Amino acid sequence: MSDLAIGIDIGGTKVAGGVLDQQGAIVARARRDTPHRSKSPGVVEDTIVGVIEDLLVQVRREEVLAVGVGAAGWVSADRATVLFAPHLSWRNEPLRERLSTRVPVPVYVDNDANAAGWAEHRFGAGRGETHLMMITLGTGIGGALVMDGQVQRGRYGVAGEYGHMMVVPGGHRCECGNRGCWEQYASGNALVREARSLLLANSPVAHDLLERLGGEDQALTGPVITEAAQDGDQTCVELIADIGRWLGTGLANLAAALDPGSFVIGGGVSAAGDLLLGPARETFARELTGRGYRPMARILQASLGNEAGLIGAADLARSEVLATP
């Protein structure tokens, strides 16, 4: 093996890493929990370095070209500074510089959705697509745009915040401070909010779901709703379909602006598969501007799962090193 790269995926309570070969296969893995769920920059940095060290002992160090770090947050255009990470105490954190003093290979930092989008473009559902948009549906909505073999990060590095397009003026309050953001209608949080409203109202249509939860509405999560829908719970099927229709509306807006060839839908909510994507495709076809007179983008389910972030972070870092004269 040669031209290996390390990818790091930073989660809320853990740091996961892998060594990627040129074909996109993960040949070594490591993971460490963040101690005491601490969000301080120093503790997370120590954990990242620990994972990298764990990986370097599993392969020949001289074959590792670079380390790529995927972070949930805004990353500067030069891929060096985490401008803002909502779930960590990072504000203008010079992460690349700090890690570079402790890691023996070049380090690059990127937004986690950018990394996932690149992975799907290179090795996953969007392979071969020249104009790809990645949409990640988790607690919120993230995204990435890959055009002609390049991740489009925007002038300041913070492109891809599609979840904060306002689709309902005066709608639900978003944690970003605005109202009516897309992620308030087409995310995992939106799915759970709508299901919980039925539970709290003691709606008879939510009886089976409450029974599945053992009577504990606080145990409600997106995966539980998805599992119930896949088992045939019609209320949960309808809840996911509602999310899918909102997804289709947002995709139609994005297609009008950017005209991609494919949308790749990832994140935890995408596990619902066609229960989500079927309604999304129907709404997209109905609301797309110029429908009937233009080619329609494909709407695909992501194929790389939870490892897309570290795969993309590693491959982007390797690409950067190989492109440097």
- What's the per-residue H, E or C state across the chain? CCCEEEEEEECCCEEEEEEECCCCCEEEEEEEECHHHCCCHHHHHHHHHHHHHHHHCCCCHHHEEEEEEEECCEECCCCCCEEEECCCCEEEECHHHHHHCCCCCCEEEEEHHHHHHHHHHHHCCCCCCCEEEEEEECCCEEEEEEECCEECCCCCCCCCCHHHCECCCCCCECCCCCECEHHHCCCHHHHHHHHHHHHHCCCHHHHHHHHHCCCCHHHCCHHHHHHHHHCCCHHHHHHHHHHHHHHHHHHHHHHHHHCCCEEEEECHHHHHCHHHHHHHHHHHHHHCCCCCCCCCCEEEECCCHHHHHHHHHHHHHHHHHHHCC
Quick one: what percent of the chain has pLDDT higher than 70?
Answer: 98
Quick one: what percent of the chain has pLDDT higher than 90?
Answer: 90
Residue range 275-287: average pLDDT?
Answer: 98
Tens of pLDDT, residues 180-199: 999 999 999 999 999 999 99
Residue range 59-85: average pLDDT?
Answer: 93
pLDDT at 270 over 80: yes
Q: Which fold has domain 4-120+306-323?
A: Nucleotidyltransferase; domain 5 (3.30.420)
Ramachandran assignment for 92, one of left (phi > 0), alpha (psi -120 to 50 degrees), beta (any other): left
Confidence at residue 324, expressed as pLDDT on a 0 to 100 scale: 83
pLDDT band at 149 (very low <50, low <70, confident <90, very high): very high
Q: How far apart are CA 316 and CA 159, in angstroms?
A: 17
Confidence at residue 291, expressed as pLDDT on a 0 to 100 scale: 93
Q: Structure pTM?
A: 0.94
Residue range 3-28: average pLDDT?
Answer: 93
pLDDT at 37 over 60: no
Residue range 207-219: average pLDDT?
Answer: 94
Confidence at residue 40, expressed as pLDDT on a 0 to 100 scale: 76
Confidence at residue 13, expressed as pLDDT on a 0 to 100 scale: 77
Residue range 195-220: average pLDDT?
Answer: 95
Tens of pLDDT, residues 227-254: 999 999 999 999 999 999 999 999 999 9
Mean pLDDT of the chain: 94
pLDDT at 12 over 80: no
Tens of pLDDT, residues 91-125: 999 999 999 999 999 999 999 999 999 999 999 99
pLDDT at 38 over 60: no
CATH of 129-303, picked from 3.30.420.40, 3.20.20.220, 3.10.20.30, 3.40.1190.20, is 3.30.420.40
pLDDT at 36 over 70: no
Confidence at residue 90, expressed as pLDDT on a 0 to 100 scale: 86
The CATH 3.30.420.40 domain(s) of the chain lie at 4-120+306-323, 129-303
